[in-house]
């Protein structure tokens, strides 16, 4: 690829990420090829975080052309199925795309999170996906919920989830939530939290 083509591609991704005032821009894409790139990047961030936070090493994630699941990963010879789903308020994202700013005014107020809202949203995502898997007659080892909600931090979420038992879906063995990179943490990897379940028999992480 020529240097000019590289610059054009970089400008294209900058435009994509900055759409809607950059609301959850790290997960934006324009087409199916972009989506595969975003998903691959996301699961690689999860892979790095699991190693950095919990010492869990896994082989390179393998995309599944006939999803679900989106990816296969192996940990100590154990093959796991992984599905990705975004936790992004689409109505808020649409409002940002139409010109509202996430940093002030009505949209800013509507974007604030609470313990109750997070628990409700997690339950909604888990059971929406779970019903899909049940209908298809499959079980998923890992549902990886990834979020870049501007005003939802991993510190708040960890505190809110510390004393809560999220209802399990029988077709989803474990659930984790991956947050976009947070500069205040002072580490390179993205924050990751367990919602429920154990990734491996030897691990208490999610």
The predicted model gives 114-121 an average pLDDT of 96
Residue 33: which pLDDT band, with cuts at 50, 70 and 90? Answer: confident
- pLDDT per residue over 142-186, tens digit each? 999 999 999 999 999 999 999 999 999 999 999 999 999 998 898
Query: In terms of pLDDT, which residue wins out, 133 or 98?
Result: 133
Q: What is the pTM of this model?
A: 0.86
pLDDT of residue 143: 98
188 secondary structure, DSSP code: S
Q: What is the torsion angle, in degrees rounded to the nearest 10, for the CA atoms of residue 57, residue 204, residue 123 and residue 81?
A: 40
Residue 203: which pLDDT band, with cuts at 50, 70 and 90? Answer: very low
Closest CA to 179 of 165, 163, 197, 161: 161
Distance CA 97, CA 82 (A): 30
Domains of the chain, CATH where assigned = 3-196 (3.40.1540)
Query: In terms of pLDDT, which residue wins out, 15 or 129?
Result: 129
């Amino acid at each position: 690829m020529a240097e000019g083509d590289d610059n054009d591609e970089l400008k294209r991704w900058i435009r994509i990420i900055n759409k809607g005032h950059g609301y959850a821009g790290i997960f934006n894409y324009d087409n199916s090829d972009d989506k595969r790139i975003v998903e691959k990047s996301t699961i690689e961030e999860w892979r790095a975080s699991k190693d950095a936070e919990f010492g869990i090493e896994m082989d390179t994630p393998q995309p599944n052309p006939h999803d679900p699941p989106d990816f296969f990963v192996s940990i100590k010879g154990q093959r796991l199925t992984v599905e990705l789903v975004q936790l992004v308020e689409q109505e808020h994202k649409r409002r940002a795309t139409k010109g509202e700013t996430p940093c002030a005014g009505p949209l800013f107020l509507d974007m604030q999170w609470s313990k109750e809202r997070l628990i409700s949203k997690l339950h909604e995502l888990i059971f929406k996906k779970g019903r899909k898997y049940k209908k298809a007659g499959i079980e998923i080892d890992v549902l990886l919920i990834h979020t870049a909600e501007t005003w939802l931090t991993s510190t708040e979420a960890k505190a809110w989830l510390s004393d809560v038992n999220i209802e399990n879906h029988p077709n989803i063995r474990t659930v984790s939530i991956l947050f976009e990179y947070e500069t205040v943490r002072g580490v390179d990897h993205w924050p990751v939290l367990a919602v429920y379940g154990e990734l491996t028999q030897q691990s208490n992480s999610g």
